[in-house]
Amino acid sequence: EVQLLESGGGLVQPGGSLRLSCAASGFTFHNYGMAWVRQAPGTGLQWVSFISATGGSTYYADSVKGRFTISRDSSKNTVYLQMNSLRAEDTAVYYCTRGPRVGSWGTFDIWGQGTMVTVSS
């Protein structure tokens, strides 16, 4: 069964840091790009970041550029999101999602259950 399992969410103070993890199983991890998408309470989905299948290319939404870093470890079938300088507006459920296959572009098909990040003093 194809599965994504996020972890690492929690309560953090403004200006603090948090690292999210997403463990993938049931598919050939190194063949797919991976992304993080977030959803603030009561609002819609927002793309946050993407990493290519090889890890050689990374992309960020303007709202997180310079503060968040996406990475992946193919030996652990895991993708990470390091979040620094967190702000109240980063409060959201963060979803890990599978992106397009290596060598192609597209969107997202498999989603994890999400992990909640709350930035508050």
Contacts (CB under 8 A) with another protein, residues 60-79? 61
Distance in Å, CB of 40 to another protein, minimum: 12
Q: Nearest Cα to 104, choosing from 31, 43, 4, 25?
A: 31
Length of the chain: 121
Backbone angles phi, psi at 54, to 5 degrees: -85, -15
Quick one: which of 45, 55, 69, 74 contacts another protein (CB under 8 A)? 45
44 scored as a contact of another protein (CB under 8 A): yes
Whether residue 97 contacts residue 35, with contact meaning beta carbons closer than 8 Å, is answered with yes
111 scored as a contact of another protein (CB under 8 A): yes
Quick one: which of 7, 21, 46, 118 contacts another protein (CB under 8 A)? 46
